[in-house]
Structures are given as structure tokens and as C-alpha cells.
């Protein structure tokens, strides 16, 4: 590295994750870094340029611009940018230039990858922005932070055993940490009350410090489930406290391990299939947040997580339909219950309303509607009770408009295509995501292909659908990188649904329309559009990778909320991410905006 070695070492030791590296490793990194100086206005790299590695700003300010030359962020000291293999295999989908005189450090790609392979803290910091598509983690590979019960019960050493026992009873837990000056001094379990307090006849005012296990062995939040299993087996214990620099952060119990092993979407679906009442169903659907958080923690790709969560919603719907038929009797004519929206696309998360409709056989007569209105109400009410709240736009089978014979549905679709006004565009967007859930599939067979063919031939309809798809835009601003809400309940956050995944969902629907593609799932549509040549190979790769990151970030946000006892939503503060993560997310949004620009100009491809 040559000159200024001491100053650069000091700087790196103030920047995470370099501050986590050992002295020897830091020496190696110092030898690998290149010092680069750029005058104001000079390009650092151009669009689609092969990147040399990871840049770190020491001083100055760097502007990141999209393919149209629009600035999407301005980065300052300690911000990283560059090594973005996520988007185009080392080629940048953005450009970078020095806004002011800037001093940068360049970590070559090969050194970066070696650190990712060998340094756990370094990899943890950068890996979240590089979600993997292959492989999953089992219980032994999960982080302790994903297994532990947060906000653990604790008390000071002078607490009486009687008071501690009451705390355990009220919290319905089996252990309590004894904390002195923020440090974990000991742990007391229900077994200790039996073997040390009751068995020895100690008075209720005995302080917990006399019976607790002192200075218990503990693990850190970043250790693995395998470490917990090993400690429990070797030390024959059922409670492992989790500490961070001595501070009591959580606890992992045998019950936690069993719960993570036992609860899965398949188990929940099996229980749902045998539920006898709506009340039983609600008990099972309450487990959905936990299942979602567990799937995210085990490293499942976002489309696998949402597919498994949607499978639960499908199972609930089918069970409710069976309950309704048991109560109402056999239907007067064949019917088909279909889902649209996120359930239709198999993209449900921890926040879902219900969007559904009924296709009825053309033998339907007006007097039959009494039956189907009752069936729709039973199912929709049951879904709402199970957490799938009523559609705010009344896109449900309880609305007579969406409970019609097949001939009426054919008229709906042909009318929307022939006269694509604003309502027609909105309704067509929803209905193009239809997927049968239960009933007579023949009522849907052929209709989708027929409608796609009819719609794709109408250039005016396609044009209106393209314009409608551009109404949701990524949350990019000129100076700060992200356009957050400026006021209100969600101030300083971005909406990862309407400004994150929905723009890609809309693009996928347009590609499906242009290519007459039958998949309803967004990722499947993007892959099919690539294979059919609707979008270019590079455009598809960039957009799929961008979508993967945005959807992954959304699920991690919801999983984090669930883990901390909060109701999951789609509003995330960009400040909750690291600088590197924010950089990746900005790049992903730039890709989406670029693809929107391309399809808006009639090109539909990128690269």
C-alpha cells in the first residue's frame, strides 16, 4: 500500500466490519487496498463497466447515477459501493463519479471474496445484501439470534425466591436470568425451585443469589444452533443464556428447539385439513407469523417462503369451503372458487387481505344465488377470522359482481379489453392473477389463454395496461437515495410493498400479457418472459436479481418485527440497514425504474 499506512489502518479500525478483523488479517487487507484520488467531477466507473472490487470512501462525496444519468444517491465517508455481483455478475447497473475531491480505498474483488469466505463477521455484514438462491439452513445452522426468546425475564440478585417464582408463573416461562449491573450473574430455572428451594425447605424470602447457577455458560447471538445443541448435550442442561459483551440478551431452551423443529407449513396444513370449526382454524393460522419468521431464518428464497405461506391460505380456503358445503348441502350447480391478488400469484406474506371470486356453471339460475351468497359469506367471514382481512376494494365473492356464471365472466374480460378505461385496467390487472383454489377446474380451463390472446392483440389495451403499470414507482430520491414518507404514521420509512415489489409485479404482468404467458407468479413470469424472448437475457437477469433482493428485504423486515413481538407490515426505515445494504437496495430500485422506463418507451428490454 505504501504511504499513509498508519492513517489508513486507523480509519479502517473505525469502520465496521473492518474493525472486527484481527491484526494479522487487517495487515493482509491493508496490503491489498489501493488508494485512489479523484478530483471533483471525475468518473469513478461508468454504466455496465466491469468492477474492480469494493470501494470505500475515506473523504469527499460520490454521486451514484442511473442509466438515464439521474442521481439516485450521494455517498459520503465510510460508505461502501461497487462490488455489486448481485446485479450483473460484477458489471455495474449504475455509474459513479466524484462530486467533490474524493479519496477512496479499493478492495480488489479477490481479496473481498477471500474475506467473505474466511471472516464470519465480515461475511455477516455483507451477506444480507447477497441472498442465495440455492441451499437452505437447517436448525443446526441457524443463528442463535433466530432461535432465542428475546426480552428475557430477569431480576436482581436480592430478589426473593417467592417473588421470582411469581414472575415465572405470570410470564409462563421456565427460567429467569439474575442480572447485576447489566451483567448476567446467574440463572434460575423451575428445576432449581424443586431441587434447591422446595427440597431443602428454604423460606420464601431467600434471595435468588443463594440458589441460582452462578456465572452460567452462555453463547452469543451470532453463534449457531449446533453450538446450542452441543452445549445442552455436553453439560446436560435445558437452558442456554445468550449474552453480548456480558449483557443478558435472551435464552434458548429445549422447548425453543423443539418448536422450531416441529412447526412447519406442512404440519400447519395437516392440522388445518382436520379442523372441525372456524375457531380451530384460527388457532392454526395464528402460527403463520412464526412459520414465516422460521422460513426466513433458515435461508429459504423469498419465492419459496411466500409459496409455503400461500399454501396455508389455500388450505384454509379449501377447509372453509368444505365446512360451508357440510352446513349448506351440495351446491345446485358446479362452481369454482378462485383467488386473485397475492394469493393468486402465490406471493402471500405475513400481511394479506383476501381477494377472491366465484365462477359458476352456465346452468346457474337466479334462485341458486341464495346458496352461493351464503357459501361466499361463510368462507369470507372465516378467512377474516383467520387473519385474512376483508378486501378494502370489496374484491370478494361476497360481492354479487364477482359471483357470476362463466358466460358473464367471459363478457367481463372481453368488455375490459375492448374498452380499457381506468376501472377496466384496474380490474384486468387483478383478474390476470387468477388461480383456481377449489371446485370444477373446467370452468377456468382455456379461459386464461383465450383472454391473454384477445388482450395481447389489442394494442390500445396493452398501452393502457403499460401506463397503469407505471403508477407504482420505486422510492428513489435525488439526494438521500430513498424517497421516504415525510410525515404521518410511517414517517421516514419506505413502502416495500407498493413501491418495492408491486412495480415488479406490474412489470411481470405486462410481460405475461405481451408474451401470452400463463404463469401467475411474478418470478415465474419473469423467467418465462426471458425464455420466450419478451425481455432480453441481461434485462431478465438484472430484474430477477433486483426483485429477489427487494422481496428478500421485505420478508426479513417482517420476520424481524415478528421476532420482536410486533405486527408485521411493509414499512421499513432505510436507516435500519447498513450502508452496504442500502447501496444494494438502491441499485435494485434503479434496475426496476430502468425497466419501467424501457417498457414505457416501448422497448421492454434492458442491456
Please provide the DSSP assignment of 30-45 as one string. HHH-EEEEE-TT-EEE
**Per-residue cell: 353:** 387481505
Total residues found in the chain within this entry: 607
Of the given ranges (147-151, 282-286, 502-506), which has the lowest mean pLDDT?
147-151
Query: CA-to-CA distance for 331 and 219, rounded, in angstroms?
Result: 59
Of the given ranges (213-222, 294-303, 473-482, 556-565), which has the lowest mean pLDDT?
473-482
User: What is the pLDDT, as a whole number, of residue 121?
Assistant: 67
The architecture of the domain spanning 140-253 is Roll (3.10)
For the chain, the domains span 5-127, 140-253, 265-446, 470-600
Look at residues 419, 417, 146 and name the one whose alpha carbon lies nearest to residue 290: 146
By the 8 A CB rule, do 310 and 302 touch? Answer: no
Query: CA-to-CA distance for 118 and 101, rounded, in angstroms?
Result: 34
- DSSP-derived secondary structure letter, 236: T
By the 8 A CB rule, do 101 and 49 touch? Answer: no
* Whether the predicted pLDDT of 103 surpasses 90: yes
Which tens digit of pLDDT belongs to each residue from 381-421?
A: 999 999 999 999 899 999 999 999 999 999 999 999 988 88
Mean of the pLDDT values across residues 513-527? 91
Query: CA-to-CA distance for 51 and 47, rounded, in angstroms?
Result: 10
By the 8 A CB rule, do 514 and 592 touch? Answer: no
* Whether the predicted pLDDT of 137 surpasses 60: no
C-alpha gyration radius of the chain: 28
Which tens digit of pLDDT belongs to each residue from 564-594?
A: 888 999 999 998 988 888 888 988 999 999 9
The architecture of the domain spanning 5-127 is Sandwich (2.60)
Query: CA angle, corner 236, sides to 214 and 212, nearest 5?
Result: 20
CATH number of 265-446: 3.30.460.10
* Whether the predicted pLDDT of 606 surpasses 60: no
Cell 410511517 belongs to residue:
490
Q: What is the mean pLDDT of the chain?
A: 86
Class of the CATH-defined domain 470-600: mainly alpha
Q: What is the value of pTM for the model shown?
A: 0.70
What count of Cα atoms within 13 Å lies in the side-chain half-sphere of residue 496?
25
Amino acid at each position: 500500500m505504501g504511504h499513509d499506512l498508519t492513517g489508513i489502518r486507523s480509519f479502517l479500525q473505525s469502520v465496521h466490519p473492518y474493525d472486527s478483523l484481527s491484526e494479522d488479517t487487517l495487515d493482509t487487507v491493508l496490503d491489498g487496498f489501493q488508494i485512489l484520488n479523484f478530483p471533483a467531477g471525475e468518473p469513478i466507473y461508468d454504466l455496465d463497466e466491469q468492477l474492480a472490487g469494493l470501494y470505500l470512501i475515506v473523504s469527499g462525496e460520490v454521486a451514484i447515477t442511473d442509466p438515464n444519468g439521474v442521481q439516485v444517491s450521494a455517498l459520503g465517508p465510510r460508505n461502501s459501493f461497487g462490488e455489486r455481483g448481485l446485479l450483473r455478475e460484477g458489471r455495474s447497473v449504475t455509474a459513479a463519479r466524484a462530486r467533490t475531491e474524493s479519496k477512496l480505498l479499493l478492495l480488489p474483488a479477490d481479496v473481498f471474496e477471500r474475506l467473505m469466505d474466511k471472516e464470519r463477521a465480515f461475511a455477516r455484514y455483507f451477506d444480507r445484501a447477497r441472498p442465495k438462491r440455492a441451499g437452505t439452513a437447517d436448525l443446526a445452522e441457524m443463528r442463535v439470534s433466530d432461535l432465542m426468546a428475546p426480552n428475557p425475564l430477569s431480576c436482581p440478585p436480592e430478589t426473593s425466591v417467592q417473588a421470582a417464582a411469581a414472575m415465572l408463573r405470570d410470564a409462563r416461562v421456565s427460567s429467569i436470568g439474575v442480572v447485576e449491573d447489566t451483567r448476567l450473574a446467574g440463572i434460575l430455572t423451575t428445576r432449581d425451585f424443586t431441587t434447591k428451594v422446595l427440597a431443602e425447605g428454604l423460606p420464601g424470602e431467600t434471595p435468588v443469589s443463594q440458589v441460582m447457577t452462578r456465572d452460567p455458560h452462555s453463547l452469543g447471538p451470532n453463534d449457531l444452533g449446533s453450538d446450542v445443541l452441543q452445549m445442552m448435550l455436553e453439560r446436560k442442561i435445558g437452558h442456554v443464556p445468550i449474552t453480548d459483551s456480558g449483557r443478558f440478551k435472551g435464552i434458548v431452551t429445549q422447548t425453543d428447539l423443539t418448536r422450531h423443529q416441529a412447526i412447519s407449513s406442512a404440519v400447519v396444513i395437516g392440522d388445518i385439513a382436520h379442523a372441525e370449526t372456524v375457531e380451530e382454524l384460527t388457532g392454526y393460522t395464528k402460527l403463520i407469523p412464526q412459520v414465516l419468521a422460521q422460513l426466513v431464518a433458515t435461508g429459504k428464497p423469498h419465492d419459496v417462503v411466500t409459496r409455503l405461506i400461500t399454501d396455508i391460505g389455500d388450505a384454509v380456503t379449501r377447509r372453509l369451503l368444505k365446512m360451508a358445503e357440510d352446513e349448506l348441502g351440495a351446491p345446485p350447480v358446479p362452481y369454482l372458487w378462485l383467488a386473485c391478488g397475492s394469493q393468486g400469484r402465490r406471493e402471500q406474506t405475513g400481511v394479506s387481505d383476501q381477494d377472491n371470486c366465484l365462477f359458476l356453471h352456465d346452468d346457474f339460475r337466479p334462485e341458486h344465488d341464495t346458496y352461493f351468497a351464503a357459501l361466499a359469506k361463510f368462507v369470507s367471514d372465516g378467512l377474516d377470522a383467520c387473519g385474512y382481512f376483508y378486501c378494502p376494494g370489496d374484491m370478494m365473492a361476497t360481492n354479487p359482481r364477482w359471483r357470476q356464471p362463466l358466460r358473464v365472466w367471459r363478457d367481463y374480460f372481453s368488455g375490459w379489453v375492448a374498452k380499457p378505461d381506468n376501472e377496466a385496467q384496474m380490474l384486468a390487472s387483478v383478474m390476470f392473477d387468477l388461480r383456481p383454489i377449489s371446485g370444477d377446474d373446467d370452468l377456468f380451463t382455456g379461459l386464461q389463454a383465450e383472454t391473454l390472446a384477445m388482450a395481447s392483440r389489442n394494442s390500445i389495451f396493452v398501452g393502457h395496461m403499460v401506463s397503469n403499470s407505471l403508477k407504482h414507482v420505486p422510492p428513489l430520491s435525488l439526494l438521500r437515495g430513498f424517497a421516504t414518507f415525510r410525515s404521518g404514521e410511517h414517517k421516514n420509512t419506505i413502502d416495500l410493498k407498493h413501491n418495492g415489489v408491486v412495480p415488479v409485479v406490474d412489470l411481470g404482468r405486462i410481460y405475461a400479457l405481451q408474451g401470452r404467458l400463463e404463469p401467475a407468479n411474478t418470478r415465474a413470469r419473469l423467467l418465462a418472459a426471458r425464455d420466450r424472448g419478451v425481455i432480453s437475457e441481461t434485462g431478465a437477469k438484472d430484474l430477477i436479481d433486483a426483485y429477489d433482493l427487494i422481496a428478500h428485504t421485505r420478508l426479513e423486515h417482517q420476520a424481524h418485527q415478528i421476532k420482536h413481538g410486533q405486527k408485521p407490515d411493509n414499512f421499513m426505515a432505510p436507516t435500519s440497514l447498513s450502508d452496504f445494504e442500502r447501496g444494494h437496495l438502491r441499485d435494485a430500485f434503479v434496475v426496476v425504474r430502468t425497466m419501467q422506463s424501457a417498457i414505457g418507451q416501448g422497448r421492454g428490454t434492458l442491456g
